[in-house]
A and B are shown apart, each in its own frame.
Chain A
Amino acid sequence: AQSVAQPEDQVNVAEGNPLTVKCTYSVSGNPYLFWYVQYPNRGLQFLLKYITGDNLVKGSYGFEAEFNKSQTSFHLKKPSALVSDSALYFCAVRGSWGKLQFGAGTQVVVTP
């Protein structure tokens, strides 16, 4: 079965510092991975996806993610965090029937 794990419940970072949100995956076959972000009282918003190809995927709002097959990781990164990046972040993997399996989520708190 396909699954993802987000090992951190919360990540705290100062504005202007680099932001990393961790995700590891477990799949049979080639992974189809996503990152979504959820701001308070909103639905989830798509940030980026990895299917095949370049291991560095660029997405919305200055985010990027690095796919690492040997470490089975797909960490989300942003070089310089903004207070407005404070939100709940979900990693997800596509499984059978196209169903998305979401990670538990990581709360990002960016302090001024």
Chain B
Amino acid sequence: DTEVTQTPKHLVMGMTNKKSLKCEQHMGHRAMYWYKQKAKKPPELMFVYSYEKLSINESVPSRFSPECPNSSLLNLHLHALQPEDSALYLCASSQVQGEKLFFGSGTQLSVL
């Protein structure tokens, strides 16, 4: 299994909603990542977990809250988002932090 699975594929939410994005991998990777990507732009790193501990937080607003319940799962909890947060949210994993990334297909998020 060389896949990173993200759910849901699409999400529409209002600015007062609370939702969660989920990511799962079964490759035994010990680093997991959240990226934000606007159309036709490069991905922007948000968070990195290494061995289930938060390793990097790229000064992301607190309305985004990551969680790594175990080595296979990564969540991104969303609360009180703004319309400018609409983007493709990509999860990725790697054997260890800094090695080649395996990306999921992403969650296309629209904030109304």
Tell yes or no: B42 within 8 A of A by CB. Answer: yes
A98 and B100 in contact, given A44-B90, A90-B42, A105-B42 (Cβ under 8 angstroms): no
Evaluate contact between A104 and B42: CB separation under 8 angstroms: yes
Evaluate contact between B90 and A97: CB separation under 8 angstroms: no
Evaluate contact between A97 and B56: CB separation under 8 angstroms: yes
Tell yes or no: A73 within 8 A of B by CB. Answer: no
Evaluate contact between A103 and B42: CB separation under 8 angstroms: yes
**Binary contact track B32-54/A, C-beta < 8 Å → 1, others 0:** 00000000111101001000000
Per DSSP, are chain A's interface residues mostly helix, strand or loop, or mixed? strand
Bound Cα distance A104, B102 (Å): 19
A43 and B41 in contact, given A34-B100, A49-B100 (Cβ under 8 angstroms): no
With CB as the reference atom, state the residue of chain A lying closest to B101.
Answer: A46
B: contact size bracket: 20 to 34
For chain A, the count of residues having a C-beta within 8 Å of the partner chain is 22
Tell yes or no: A82 within 8 A of B by CB. Answer: no
Tell yes or no: B66 within 8 A of A by CB. Answer: no
Kindly provide the distance from the CB of A101 to the nearest chain B CB, expressed in whole angstroms.
9
Bound Cα distance A36, B69 (Å): 28
Bound Cα distance A99, B92 (Å): 12
Tell yes or no: A57 within 8 A of B by CB. Answer: no
Name the interface residues of A89-112: CB closer than 8 Å to any CB of B: 90, 94, 97-100, 102-105, 107
Give chain A residues whose Cβ lies under 8 Å from the Cβ of B102. 46
Contacts A99-B56, A107-B40 known; list 15 others, CB within 8 Å: A36-B101, A43-B105, A44-B92, A44-B101, A44-B103, A46-B102, A97-B56, A98-B31, A98-B98, A99-B98, A100-B101, A102-B42, A102-B43, A104-B42, A105-B42
Q: List 16 A-B contacts (CB under 8 A).
A: A41-B105, A41-B108, A43-B92, A43-B103, A43-B106, A44-B90, A44-B101, A44-B103, A97-B48, A97-B98, A98-B96, A98-B99, A99-B48, A99-B56, A104-B41, A107-B40
